[in-house]
């Protein structure tokens, strides 16, 4: 496998091929990117090419049990390296922090609300997360959400849920679950914000690294594409997400390890909070770091190193050993 030759920036006749997963949410996000680029560069031609990833094909197994490095990205990355597509649009939370050689994160778009959201069955419309009855079945496929919610609400019952957003909501409405925990951003992007019953505060559940933002991945040497993508870059979001991704990368945790974050950018000051939790929610290591936005990656790395010394590494080692045995 070799990198496609890098075109010159001045080549305005080239059709730009955008890679996307086939899910409804992925397509909504990808066509949004296409439309934004078309507005910025009306003389250019953009087309979308779809692919199915391993994560889209395996729907009957919990994410944590099938591995997560590139679960929703590998096929798209192969397409870029083979020259079949020019860049790929990802939910940034699905993009591994270590990319294949020859590929880079070319752009981070403006973030939607990164928080987790509670969606409830009709019979629980009068409830909030903390008032759901004992034993209520809450669906989530995220170990991060599971660990934090178990810590705060040990009386609830948690059950894995897979499938696209419509599939999950159908299972909820059919009574298979009393509630679901979903990303608020995904519901908003699919015009389903009315299904959000409660935005879960950061004090209860820190969100996933990159959640709510789109990450556009491309070939490192493709100067033309990198130049085009800068039209969509949102610097405040990028600073926040670079800090979060550095934090996750330093801890060497994938998206299916209970690592949560929250970032706030006030003027030029970035505050990053991180958490590492055991699967049963009994052990938590949480800390915060503040510094200049330009040092975002350094802040993420430093916070991870500090938390590792506070016991985060021991928790992660225990989790990985448990997952290897399961």
Q: Delimit the domains of the chain by residue range.
A: 1-109+213-233, 116-199, 234-326
Spell out the residues 6+ positions from residue 90 whose beta carbon is closer than 8 angstroms to its own. 72, 73, 76, 214, 215, 216, 217
**Cβ proximity of 248 and 209 under 8 Å:** yes
**Cβ proximity of 152 and 202 under 8 Å:** no
Q: Looking at residues 230-241, what average pLDDT do you find?
A: 97
pTM of the model: 0.88
The pLDDT tens digits of the residues spanning 211-229 come to 999 999 999 999 999 999 9
Protein fold of 234-326: Double Stranded RNA Binding Domain (3.30.160)
> Which tokens is 61 given?
């197994």
Q: How confident is the model at residue 188 (pLDDT cuts 50, 70, 90)?
A: very high
Burial of 47: CB neighbours in 10 Å, binned 0-12, 13-18, 19+: exposed
Q: What is the pLDDT of residue 32?
A: 97
**Alpha carbon distance 133, 28 (integer Å):** 36
**Alpha carbon distance 149, 132 (integer Å):** 12
Inter-CA distances, 66 with 69, 100, 168, 247, 251, Å: 10, 20, 19, 23, 20
Active-site annotation holds for 194: no
**Alpha carbon distance 163, 21 (integer Å):** 14
CATH class of 116-199: alpha beta
Spell out the residues 6+ positions from residue 174 whose beta carbon is closer than 8 angstroms to its own. none
Residue found under tokens 């990808």: 30
The pLDDT tens digits of the residues spanning 258-295 come to 999 999 999 999 999 999 999 999 999 999 999 999 99
**According to DSSP H, which parts of the chain are helical?**
24-40, 54-57, 74-81, 143-152, 165-173, 184-189, 223-229, 235-251, 296-307, 313-325
Instruction: List 48's β-bridge partners, or say none.
Output: 18
Lowest-pLDDT range, 37-41, 60-64, 73-77, 173-177? 60-64
Answer yes or no: same fold for 1-109+213-233 and 234-326: no
* Residue among 104, 115, 98, 100 nearest 251 (CA): 98
- Can you state the angle between helices 235-251 and 296-307, rounded to 10 degrees? 30
Q: What is the pLDDT of residue 129?
A: 96
Q: What is the pLDDT of residue 196?
A: 98
Reported as type and span, the H/E element at residue 158 is strand 157-159
Among 68, 94, 116, 222, the active-site one is 94
* Residue among 210, 93, 204 nearest 148 (CA): 204
The conformational region for residue 311 under phi > 0 = left, psi -120 to 50 = alpha, else beta, is left
Q: Looking at residues 19-39, what average pLDDT do you find?
A: 95
**Alpha carbon distance 59, 160 (integer Å):** 11
> Which tokens is 101 given?
């050689």
**Alpha carbon distance 251, 260 (integer Å):** 12
Write down the CATH number for the domain with range 1-109+213-233: 3.40.190.10
**Alpha carbon distance 79, 49 (integer Å):** 10
């Amino acid at each position: 496998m070799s990198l496609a030759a890098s075109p010159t920036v001045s080549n305005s006749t080239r059709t730009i091929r955008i890679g996307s997963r086939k899910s409804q949410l992925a397509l909504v996000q990808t066509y949004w990117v296409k439309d934004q680029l078309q507005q910025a560069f009306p003389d250019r031609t953009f087309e979308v090419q779809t692919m199915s990833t391993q994560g889209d094909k395996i729907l009957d197994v919990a994410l944590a049990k099938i591995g997560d490095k590139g679960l929703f990205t590998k096929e798209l990355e192969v397409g870029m390296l083979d020259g079949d597509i020019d860049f790929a649009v990802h939910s940034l939370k699905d993009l591994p922090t270590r990319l294949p050689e020859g590929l880079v994160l070319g752009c981070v778009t403006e973030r939607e609300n990164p928080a987790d959201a509670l969606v409830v069955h009709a019979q629980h419309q009068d409830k909030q997360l903390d008032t759901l009855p004992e034993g209520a079945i809450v669906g989530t496929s995220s170990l991060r959400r599971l660990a934090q919610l178990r810590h705060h609400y040990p009386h609830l019952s948690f059950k894995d849920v897979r499938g696209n957003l419509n599939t999950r909501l159908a299972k909820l409405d059919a009574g298979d679950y009393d509630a679901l925990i979903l990303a608020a951003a995904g519901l908003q992007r699919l015009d389903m914000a009315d299904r959000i019953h409660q935005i879960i505060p950061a004090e209860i559940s820190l969100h996933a690294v990159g959640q709510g933002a789109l990450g556009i991945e491309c070939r490192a040497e493709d100067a033309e594409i990198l130049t085009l993508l800068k039209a969509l870059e949102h610097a405040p979001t990028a600073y926040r997400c670079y800090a979060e991704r550095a934090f996750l990368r330093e801890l060497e945790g994938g998206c299916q390890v209970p690592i949560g974050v929250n970032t706030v950018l006030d003027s030029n000051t970035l505050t990053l909070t991180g958490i590492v939790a055991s699967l049963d929610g009994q052990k938590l290591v949480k800390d915060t770091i503040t510094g200049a936005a330009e040092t975002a990656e350094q802040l993420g790395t430093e916070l991870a190193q500090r938390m590792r010394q506070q016991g985060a590494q021991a928790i992660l080692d225990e989790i990985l050993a448990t997952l290897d045995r399961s």
